[in-house]
Amino acid sequence: MGSVLIPSLLSLLCFGIYSSRTLIQNQERNGQDILNSVSQTLEMQFSDIINIQDAFYIYNEVFQEAEALNNPQLYQYYDELTRIEMENTYTIILTKLIHTSDQDIRAVVFFPASNGDTAYYLGKENARLEEIEYPGYHEETWYKEAAADGNQSVFYAEHNPEYIENRHLSDVYSYIKAVRDMSNGNVIGVVKIDVSSQMLEDTLNVVEQTADNGLIILQEGEFFASSEWIPAEQEMTVKEGSRVQIGKKLYQMQTREIAGTGLELVYLNSRGAVYRGYLP
C-alpha cells in the first residue's frame, strides 16, 4: 500500500507546487496590467494639475501679478485701475483653470519669496484673491525644497492646512513648485496647488481589492496615499526581495514609477492566499 500512497502524495505535492507557481505568475501579470493602467491614469491627473502651475509662465498677466505680490514696490509703476485689472485677470485665468480641470482643485495659493507671512489664496469656492496669514511659511519643508531648486516640483502628502480647515474643506494633497523670473532665474515665490485627496483615493480604489491585495503610492519609501483597505498610519517596513510588511502582514510588491512626479505606484499582493489555496 505504501508503494501506491507515496507516489500519490508526491504527485499531489508536485501538482500543488505547479499550480501555486502558475497562479503566482498569473497574479504578477495581472499586477503589471493594473500598474500600467492606474499609473497612466495618475499621470494624466497629475499633468492636469501641473498645467495650472504652467499658467504662471504661459500667461504674462498671471506672472506680472505674482511678481507684484512678491515686490510691493512695483505697485508704484501701476495706477490703481491697472492694479485692479491685473488682479482680476489673474483671478479669472486661474479660476477658469480650476473649474475646467478634471481634478477637484480646492485652492491655488501663492507664497511670495519676499519677507513676510502673507500668502495669496484663490479658492474654488469663492473665486476671489484673498490675503491669508501663514506665519513662518518660509521655513516649511515643502517651501524650502521647492525654492531651493526652481526646477524641482514637490508633491506633499495628504494634510489639512489651517486655511483649508477654516473653510471646512476636505483634506488635500498638494503640488508645489517655485515660480521663477525667466529673465534672471530668481525665485519670486512658490505656488501650492491643493487637490482633494478623495479623488486620488478613488483612483486607487478602482481595482477590486481585498485584505490580500491593493494599491498604495510611495514617496521616497514613505506612504503618500493608499486605497481604503489599508490605513496609511500603519507601520510599513520594506524588506529584501521586493517584500513589504504593513502592520503584521507581509506582501510582495510590484512597482511602477509615476513619470515626472518622484512618486511610485505599488501593487501589493499577499502570497499567503496562494499557498493557502493550493498547498496540501
Confirm if 195 and 225 have CB atoms less than 8 A apart.
no
Query: How confident is the model over 118-141, as pLDDT tens digits?
Result: 999 999 888 899 999 999 999 999
Query: How confident is the model over 195-248, as pLDDT tens digits?
Result: 998 888 888 887 665 667 788 898 887 888 877 666 555 666 666 557 777 777
What pLDDT does 198 receive?
A: 86
Position 88: which residue type? N
Strand partners, 123: 107
What pLDDT does 200 receive?
A: 85
CB under 8 Å, gap of 24 or more: what pairs does 131-137 form? 132/163, 134/162, 134/163, 137/111
Q: Say if residue 15's pLDDT is above 50.
A: no
Query: How confident is the model over 45-86, as pLDDT tens digits?
Result: 888 898 899 999 999 999 999 999 998 787 778 888 888 899
What pLDDT does 13 receive?
A: 55
Confirm if 120 and 77 have CB atoms less than 8 A apart.
no
Span between the terminal Cα atoms of the chain, in Å: 20
Query: How confident is the model over 27-38, as pLDDT tens digits?
Result: 667 778 889 889
What pLDDT does 4 receive?
A: 52
What pLDDT does 230 receive?
A: 64
What pLDDT does 32 receive?
A: 84
Please state the pTM of the whole predicted model: 0.81
**Treating both helix axes as pointing N-terminal to C-terminal, what angle do 2-58 and 60-70 enclose, rounded to 10 degrees?**
80
Alpha carbon dihedral 179, 185, 188, 191, in 10-degree steps, equals 10
Q: Does residue 247 come out as left (phi exceeding 0), alpha (psi in the -120 to 50 range) or beta?
A: left
What are the backbone dihedrals phi and psi of residue 176, each rounded to the nearest 5 degrees, phi first?
Answer: -130, 135
What pLDDT does 276 receive?
A: 45
Q: Say if residue 18's pLDDT is above 50.
A: no
Alpha carbon separation from 10 to 16, 82, 274 (Å, rounded): 10, 87, 19
Query: How confident is the model over 142-188, as pLDDT tens digits?
Result: 999 999 877 778 898 888 888 887 776 778 999 999 999 988 889 99
What pLDDT does 64 receive?
A: 92
Largest CA distance in the chain: 104
What pLDDT does 239 receive?
A: 64
Confirm if 25 and 32 have CB atoms less than 8 A apart.
no
